[in-house]
Chain A
Amino acid sequence: MNLIRFQTPGLAAFAELSSLRNEMDRLFEAPLSELARTSHFLSGSAPALDIYEDKDNFVVKVELPGMKKEDIEVSLHDGSLSISGERKSEQKLENAQTHRTERFFGRFQRTVNLPAPVAADKVSGQYKDGILTVTLPKAEEAKPKQIDVQAN
């Protein structure tokens, strides 16, 4: 379901072996979605995403910490929503020595197929606290309808 980011095999792989063991242990304990979110091996560069539905809308939330609004691209095509962009690193520090680099920088893309048609012209997005929320109002024909029962 998730694409795994390619990583050059090398010394770093050895350092990850012990955490691989932890992952194996957790594999049997955690629900799969939870695992994909927290696992370093499985999540790669794909940002975590939630989809919610209520009577009138689909709501998609994506974790995109530290981005600029301009670097996020949201598009809708044939009933599938695509969220892409580039996570850029903040300005480089001078004479800096690096102790840890766990954050991901680079391009990412997620595409989800929406279960029902949406009103493409009414889709809106909001970016706050590093979370992108896309609200997609359902198309009129996809909304549940109340039918009045006539009694004679």
Chain B
Amino acid sequence: MQTTLEKQVNNRPAYEEYVAPNVNIFETPEGYVLQAEMPGVAKDGLEITLEGTEITIVGRRAPEAAVGETLFRERSVADYRRVFELDPAIDTAKVSAKIEQGILTVTLPKSERVKPRKITVD
């Protein structure tokens, strides 16, 4: 038992290679907004990939200067990764993202043809 625990502390076991960030997803008539909590990730640590019908979000933690010895540890060292299926209505060419204080915001606008529009009657 003891050896198993030590092993997990020393080499990261496969299951915690990535953690899934908590997300909020909203949909408006114009598109979707996805917010993901990724504390410890800076702009250069982000990899957002659109492929086929999926969006993959990867956030790599910025390296932190080591401080002496660890007295207590709860934070995960694993990077973040999560995959979502895309609504076909999304215009993938217009997807944009920003990260601010560890919150990634991805804006996924819907393509013009699916947006609700009013027809003026002559």
Contacts and interface: CB of A to CB of B under 8 A. Distances in A.
A18 interface: no
Contacts of A61: 64, 75
A37 B75 contact: yes
Contacts of B71: 51-53, 58, 115
Contact of A65 (B15, B28, B39, B62): B39
Contact of A101 (B24, B28, B39, B100): B24
Contacts of B29: 95
B39 A129 contact: yes
B55 interface: no
B1 to A, nearest CB: 10
Contacts of B8: 29-31, 34
A52 B79 CA distance: 21
Interface residues of B, number: 39
Interface of B: 5, 8-9, 15-16, 19, 22-29, 32-33, 35, 37-42, 62, 64, 67-76, 100-103
Contacts of A98: 24-27
Interface residues of A, number: 46
A85 B102 CA distance: 17
Contacts of B33: 93, 96
Contacts of B74: 33, 36-37, 48-50
Contacts of B24: 98, 100-103
A100 B19 contact: no
A28 to B, nearest CB: 10
Which of A63, A95, A127 neighbours the largest number of chain B CB atoms within 10 Å of its CB? A63
